[in-house]
Amino acid sequence: MNNDPPASAMDADSVYQSTRERIAQLSPVGHAARVSRPLIKELTRMGLMAPFFAQTYGGSGDGQVSATLLCGIREGLARTSAEASTALATQIGGIFVAARHASQEVRQEWVPLVVSGDVVTAIALTEPERGNDVASMTMAATKEPGGWRLSGKKVWIMKAPEADIYTVFARTSGKGGRGITAFLVPKTSQGLSGEPIDSLWPDRVGNLFFDGVFVPDTHVIGPVDEGYKLGMSVFEAFRPSVAAHMLGLARSALDLSARYATTRRAFGHTIGSYQAVSHLLAEMKTRLQAAKLLTYDAATAYDGGDTARIATASAMAKLYATEMGQFVIDGAIQVHGAVALERGHLLEHLYREVRPSRIYEGTSEIQREIIARNLLREYDRPEA
């Protein structure tokens, strides 16, 4: 049976309506940090993975990732479950460059398994001494007959160490962005180990240790030394969707708060009758709507190949939406008072979920850097 709804039916509201019951069963509020294979399998069964992959590999699309579609699906899923939205994004992101640039042999081996939800993927760029400054990564890949040997450490990797395959970026030569190469590394590779990180974030994140891991030439992704721009292409495609993820989380926090404000009573009145509360809700709603416009504008720029706008539009969306998410979820807790802080309450869960979003996929400071650099470049030339 083909479970794929037509792509046009995958806007945020329809995804939310059609998935919420099943996703809520599989991903209850307050779940422990984990990799949920049944959840990943269900995302596939619901037809949410296939549109992002070519039919040759079991998908239903043309192999392009539509940022607008990804945003709609992530926003809709995140209203019910941040875990589901993140799982979808890491699955697609973990195989994104391999699905486009790996050898035919590697693509045929791995991509269909991702599309069918049978393997878990992840992407590993960050190192202990190199976070935002990806171009200066030092993890070494040394050439040997028939392949490369990887040595070093990757940290703060979503889905590690449980993921089955990793897109790993390592230094093959030179300095800076030049001389970085992408590799597809199965978890079973000899010398690869890992550990989960016990973090504030409610989802699974961990470290990976590469102790002379041999990766055959067939598992190099794209040309040697040209991995940096492949890594950046993942950010370009996925940044608007981080913003969309925030829209979903913020929407569920706002819904809960507005409802609470009409029922909770204090000093003889519902708390929503106090302007301090109602204006906070108004501010939350306004920022949410502003973030939505920025998010889908960035997605449209990406899908339209509008190269002059993509970087700035995505950075503005990611910056504003993650800061909005923090504001709205914090505000929702304020509206609820103490009850929202109890372990297992939706807002307590969302509070832990939202905080790292201003750090991963480029911190807020880096987004401002991108916006400012592009803005000033525009004006740093003689007036016409």
Ligand X SMILES: Cc1cc2nc3c(=O)[nH]c(=O)nc-3n(C[C@H](O)[C@H](O)[C@H](O)COP(=O)(O)OP(=O)(O)OC[C@H]3O[C@@H](n4cnc5c(N)ncnc54)[C@H](O)[C@@H]3O)c2cc1C
* Chain positions contacting ligand X, by CB under 6 A: 122-126, 131-133, 156-158, 201, 205, 356, 359-360, 363, 365-366, 369
* 132 versus 142: smaller Cβ distance to ligand X: 132
Per DSSP bridges, beta strands 205-216 and 147-158 are antiparallel
* 159 versus 292: smaller Cβ distance to ligand X: 159
Q: How far is the CB of 197 from ligand X (least distance, A)?
A: 9
CA distances from 320 to 109, 133, 328 (A): 39, 21, 12
Q: How far is the CB of 170 from ligand X (least distance, A)?
A: 12
Confirm if 5 and 18 have CB atoms less than 8 A apart.
Answer: yes
* 158 versus 221: smaller Cβ distance to ligand X: 158
Two structure tokens written together for 344: 């297992």
Confirm if 332 and 256 have CB atoms less than 8 A apart.
Answer: yes
Q: How far is the CB of 104 from ligand X (least distance, A)?
A: 26
**CB closest to ligand X, residue no:** 131
Confirm if 72 and 303 have CB atoms less than 8 A apart.
Answer: no
Q: Which of 4, 9, 8, 16 is nearest to 49 (CA)?
A: 4
Q: How far is the CB of 30 from ligand X (least distance, A)?
A: 17
Two structure tokens written together for 147: 């392949």
* 274 versus 360: smaller Cβ distance to ligand X: 360
Confirm if 298 and 239 have CB atoms less than 8 A apart.
Answer: yes
Report the catalytic residues: 361
Rounded-to-integer distance, Cα 69 and Cα 51, Å: 9
